[in-house]
């Protein structure tokens, strides 16, 4: 082969290598939670969560996505992935920390393993009522907790209402703390949730939310606990025919943002996203109240027996959880929350 041919061959190899590298970099970028479209005109943000598309929280996130697009003039596109398409809540949080996923809607309970302060929301009967709940979330202590994930790579964007969690069971209802004994109950991925059931003598059983219907159907668990809209939209009422509104915990949902991706956005984009999130909170609070009433009516019409047990015995039986945290950071947060009028 002559010198000229060798030169062309070398040039071809260099060009080929450059093209391959360009494609490889493009693939890496497309796999990240936030991608910029051609010319940097649009930023695409992926948001993962585990709820059904009919859930009021999903509806609120769709509104947030629309408002972000409108406020930014089309520069921001939030793509919402429901039904744990991108993974369970803990899996999505881990992706978010790495910057592989931009946004996650998660229960505060699932945050415990990443942000220890979030454990305070798992204490039973922490809030007096709906008014107290929202006063706390909008107070300095609520904002402090929302920002507590910054050091773990998570920017807290907003809280969503997720109502009160109550027991639902397949065979017989839970009307007193004694009824929890020796019952296998599915719990959130949270030490506080496990400790609560164990304190009452039950068997806390972690099951991924998407697998819970089958677990109830096949008697892998005797029951679970959740709020009325989730009980309804998950169709768990088709298997669990007893719903006892003991309302033992009220754990908020949060929309969190990868701090790595958030810090890379312009101040204008951060402002649009914050405004869109805040508007969705106002919408979601009203929708939650409406859908809670709709859910209770629907499951009752479907044959579910709804009970409203005396909460005082449950409050007394779970009081040791507070004593366990006396003198700790979580105990101090609980005290500050309860002092809010």
Residue 47's SS3 state is strand
Q: What is the per-residue pLDDT for 11?
A: 38
Phi and psi at 32, nearest 5°, equal: -80, 160
Q: What is the per-residue pLDDT for 203?
A: 98
Phi and psi at 265, nearest 5°, equal: -85, 155
Q: What is the per-residue pLDDT for 15?
A: 36
User: What residue has token string 């039904």?
Assistant: 83
User: What residue has token string 């596109």?
Assistant: 77
Residue 202's SS3 state is coil
Q: What is the per-residue pLDDT for 189?
A: 87
Q: Are strands 253-258 and 103-107 parallel, antiparallel or unpaired?
A: antiparallel
Structure tokens of 75? 């520069």
* 112: nearest Cα among 125, 130, 93: 93
Q: What is the per-residue pLDDT for 17?
A: 41
**Beta carbons of 329 and 125 less than 8 angstroms apart:** no
Element (H, E) at 79: strand 76-81
Report d(CA 162, CA 89) in Å as an integer: 15
Q: What are the structural domain ranges in the chain?
A: 41-115+123-163+252-293, 165-250+303-339
Instruction: Say which CATH class 41-115+123-163+252-293 falls into.
Output: alpha beta
Structure tokens of 17? 């290598």
Topology alike, domains 41-115+123-163+252-293 and 165-250+303-339: yes
* 248: nearest Cα among 315, 170, 325, 331: 315
Report d(CA 222, CA 226) in Å as an integer: 14
- pLDDT tens per residue, the chain (341 residues)? 444 343 433 434 333 443 333 333 332 333 346 665 444 579 999 999 999 899 999 999 999 999 999 999 999 999 999 999 999 999 999 999 999 999 999 999 999 999 999 999 999 999 999 999 999 999 999 999 999 999 999 999 999 999 999 999 999 999 999 999 999 999 998 999 999 999 999 999 999 998 999 999 999 999 999 999 999 999 999 999 999 999 999 999 999 999 999 999 999 999 999 999 999 999 999 999 999 999 999 999 999 999 999 999 999 999 999 999 999 999 999 999 999 99
CATH code for 165-250+303-339? Answer: 3.40.190.170
């Amino acid at each position: 082969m002559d010198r000229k041919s060798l030169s062309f061959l070398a040039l071809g190899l260099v060009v080929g290598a450059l093209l391959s590298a360009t494609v490889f970099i493009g693939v890496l970028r497309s796999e990240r939670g936030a991608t910029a479209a051609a010319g940097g005109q649009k930023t695409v943000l992926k948001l993962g969560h585990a709820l059904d598309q009919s859930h009021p929280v999903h509806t609120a996130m769709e509104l947030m996505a629309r408002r972000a697009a409108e406020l930014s003039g089309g520069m921001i596109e939030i793509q919402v992935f429901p039904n744990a398409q991108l993974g369970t809540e803990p899996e999505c949080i881990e992706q978010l920390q790495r910057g592989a996923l931009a946004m996650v809607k998660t229960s505060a309970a699932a945050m415990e393993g990443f942000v220890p302060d979030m454990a305070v929301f798992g204490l039973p009967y922490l809030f007096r009522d709906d008014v107290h709940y929202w006063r706390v979330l909008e107070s300095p202590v609520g904002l402090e907790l929302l920002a507590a994930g910054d050091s773990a790579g998570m920017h807290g964007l907003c809280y969503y209402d997720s109502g009160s969690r109550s027991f639902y069971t397949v065979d017989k209802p839970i009307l007193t703390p004694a009824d929890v004994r020796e019952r296998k109950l599915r719990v959130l991925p949270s030490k506080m949730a496990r400790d609560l059931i164990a304190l009452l003598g039950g068997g806390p059983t972690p099951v991924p939310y998407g697998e819970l219907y089958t677990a109830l159907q096949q008697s892998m668990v005797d029951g679970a606990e959740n709020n009325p809209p989730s009980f309804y939209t998950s169709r768990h009422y088709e298997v669990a025919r007893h719903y006892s509104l003991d309302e033992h915990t009220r754990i908020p949902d949060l929309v969190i943002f990868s701090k790595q991706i958030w810090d890379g956005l312009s101040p204008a984009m951060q402002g649009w996203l914050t405004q869109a999130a805040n508007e969705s909170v106002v919408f979601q609070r009203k929708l939650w109240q409406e859908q809670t009433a709709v859910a209770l009516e629907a499951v009752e019409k479907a044959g579910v027996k709804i009970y409203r047990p005396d909460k005082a015995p449950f409050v007394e039986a779970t009081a040791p959880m507070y004593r366990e945290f006396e003198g700790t950071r979580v105990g101090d947060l609980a005290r500050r929350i309860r002092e809010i009028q």
